[in-house]
Copies of this chain bind each other. A is one copy, B any other.
Amino acid sequence: MPAVDDIPDLSDAEFRKRVRDWLTAHLTGEFAALVGSGGPGREHENIELRMRWERELGAAGWIGLGWPRAAGGRGATITQQVIFFEEYARIGGPGRLSHMGEYLLAPTLIAFGTEEQRRRFLPPIAAATEFWCQGYSEPNAGSDLASVQTRAVRDGDVWRVTGQKVWTSLAHVADWCFVLARTDADAPKRRGLSYLLVPMDQPGIEVRPITQITGTSEFNEVFFDGAVTAAENIVGEPGDGWRVATGTLAFERGVATLGQQLGFARELDEVFAVARTSGAYDDPVWRDAAVDAWVGLQTLRHQALRTLGTPEGDLPGVEASVSKLLWAPWHQRLGELAMSAVGPTATLADGGLSDAQRLFLYTRADTIYGGSNEIQRNIIADRLLGRVPRS
């Protein structure tokens, strides 16, 4: 029996013990090597072993914890989901490979998909037998989803997809990709898009890793050249893609945000530890900046809790943008703080990048991918000041 079938009946303390015991018992043996791996800037590490670890998690029922029971999930409360993240972070669980499916696609299918689609796609996500990647950003669309140029045409029983996507993390691992493609060139920009589910293992798809400023490749370019998918693999109607996709973007926040913050807290702890060694901690000016980073992290948490607790919010529809504009620059500053904690030796890279350097370099992307700071500000300004023509 999965470890978590009865969780709605558990107290938070009991649930926490269940999680902790399970992780302690299972993140052992070959999986012990995964502790601390696969985080930001390290997504390329240990892929095979991490896939097996995902299946271990899935078999025990830890994937889809927050999905409704009707959708094959466990119906865990928000608090329980947060507890899972906390314990997972505490033990140093490796970076997740299932999260695109679990936190982005699955909620989309639950909200916008058909019963058949949910039956077909959710169980393999929960079992970690199928992995997903996200096909949104394009080289000529940047953060502007409405400018997506990848085309899909209906051809009998299939859609044929042609175009190029970027920022596609884990594309080389994924079995499926959820793709935003233009199916009606004549419709207004946002109305001509459709949301397609496309299998990755086919001749019409080529995945090219992009080497990043870290020298590693978490992200890929994905080239679609007449790639096919069955006609029924569309979420919503043709032309609904914008609505469905921005619905998915909204799911990026919420519980996953709290989980992300646990990773941030671990990074900040590490920065303090480094500073104690280097002497930066004894510099009142450095420490003032570091404490401000700590203050910022608490504020991220307060913001996430308030957003979860008051879904109506003050700025309905743009909380995800507020959250991104809070955490991405904060994380970037943490990277800078980490470098100043290390001091001049942060300019050396013997034996590869240090944790501080990886954080520093990798966080440059935080303010770009998933809707750049500029796009997020546009979204908030549209809400406050009304939409106007761009530029």
- Residues in chain A within 8 A of chain B (CB atoms): 283-285, 288, 388, 391
Specify which of B284, B388, B391 is in contact with A284 (CB 8 Å cutoff). Answer: B284
Q: Could you say how many copies of this chain the assembly holds?
A: 2
Specify which of B285, B388, B391 is in contact with A288 (CB 8 Å cutoff). Answer: B285
7 A-B residue pairings within 8 Å (CB atoms): A283-B284, A284-B284, A284-B285, A285-B285, A285-B288, A388-B391, A391-B391
Nearest chain B CB to A384 CB, angstrom units: 16
**Which residues in B have their C-beta under 8 angstroms from that of A284?**
283-285
Residue of B with least CB distance to A287: B285
Residue of B with least CB distance to A389: B391
Nearest chain B CB to A71 CB, angstrom units: 46
User: In whole angstroms, how far apart are the Cα atoms of A391 and B390 in the complex?
Assistant: 9
**Which residues in B have their C-beta under 8 angstroms from that of A285?**
284-285, 288
User: In whole angstroms, how far apart are the Cα atoms of A388 and B389 in the complex?
Assistant: 14
Residue of B with least CB distance to A388: B391
Nearest chain B CB to A290 CB, angstrom units: 12
Residue of B with least CB distance to A283: B284
Residue of B with least CB distance to A284: B284
User: In whole angstroms, how far apart are the Cα atoms of A391 and B389 in the complex?
Assistant: 9
Residue of B with least CB distance to A288: B285
User: In whole angstroms, how far apart are the Cα atoms of A184 and B283 in the complex?
Assistant: 64
Closest 7 CB pairs of A and B: A284-B284, A285-B288, A285-B285, A284-B285, A388-B391, A391-B391, A283-B284
**Which residues in B have their C-beta under 8 angstroms from that of A288?**
285
User: In whole angstroms, how far apart are the Cα atoms of A285 and B289 in the complex?
Assistant: 10
User: In whole angstroms, how far apart are the Cα atoms of A283 and B391 in the complex?
Assistant: 45
User: In whole angstroms, how far apart are the Cα atoms of A288 and B285 in the complex?
Assistant: 7
User: In whole angstroms, how far apart are the Cα atoms of A126 and B315 in the complex?
Assistant: 60
User: In whole angstroms, how far apart are the Cα atoms of A388 and B388 in the complex?
Assistant: 17
Nearest chain B CB to A372 CB, angstrom units: 19
User: In whole angstroms, how far apart are the Cα atoms of A122 and B284 in the complex?
Assistant: 57
User: In whole angstroms, how far apart are the Cα atoms of A297 and B283 in the complex?
Assistant: 25
